[in-house]
Amino acid sequence: MTRSAKMLTALAVLAGCSGQTAASRVNASDGNAPPVVQGLSAAIQHDVAVLRAVTAPFHDFDQARAAGWSAQITPCMTDPGGAGGMGFHYGKVKLIDGSVHVDQPQLLLFEPEQNGRLRLVAAEYIIPYTFVPRSAAPPVLFGQEFQQVDAFQLWGLHVWAWKNNPSGLFAPWNPVVTCANATAQVSMSHK
């Protein structure tokens, strides 16, 4: 068994050890360790483990940029209603083609830290309305329906794979993500 396969298996086992049924309950974690996901189906746990495996190298922001997530899509984003933050969105533009795959998130979200570094906190999958109209049924990935993001004319699905989100693994805003250390930020409603 390869090291990657062992890591994916270990993550799936850890995620499945809970008797809780909350579909997106996440335990807190320190540093870059992923939150432990509880109460999700084995298929969704596997998909989250795949996402973590492919994005793990991007805790080093320079590696993310070198791998193609180099287009800054937004400044650091916070919700004016107090739902939390998202951080900076960096995109791999060639992946924005109307399709979504667990191992190819179009956007990576980074939270600015006090030391000036950017910390990987989440991934986002997007499909512009030009590919799937707003009037269509929502796309689905990780067993979750994408949400309409009219401000950007697209469908979006966040996965907080690298930072605990008390609002849920797939919630758009994370109340523990802050833009306090950012020099460029925007407050924006996400609906």
The pLDDT assigned to 39 comes to 80
Q: Distance between CA 115 and CA 21 in Å, rounded?
A: 38
pTM over 0.85: no
The pLDDT assigned to 141 comes to 97
The pLDDT assigned to 184 comes to 54
Secondary structure in 3-state letters for 37-54: EECCCHHHHHHHHHHHHH
Q: Say if residue 93's pLDDT is above 60.
A: yes
The pLDDT assigned to 190 comes to 52
Phi and psi torsions of 174, nearest 5°? -120, 115
What does the pLDDT look like over 38-58, one tens digit per residue? 688 999 999 999 999 999 999
82 — alpha (psi -120 to 50), left (phi > 0) or beta?
left
What does the pLDDT look like over 68-90, one tens digit per residue? 999 999 999 999 899 999 999 99
Average pLDDT over residues 106-122: 96
Instruction: Report the chain's C-alpha Rg in angstroms.
Output: 16
What does the pLDDT look like over 119-172, one tens digit per residue? 999 999 999 999 999 999 999 999 999 999 999 999 999 999 999 999 999 999
Among the residue ranges 20-29, 66-75, 97-106, 181-190, the one predicted with the least confidence is 20-29
The pLDDT assigned to 84 comes to 95
The pLDDT assigned to 99 comes to 97
Phi and psi torsions of 137, nearest 5°? -65, 145
Q: Kind of pairing, strands 71-78 and 37-38?
A: unpaired
Contact call for residues 87 and 113 (beta carbons, < 8 A):
no
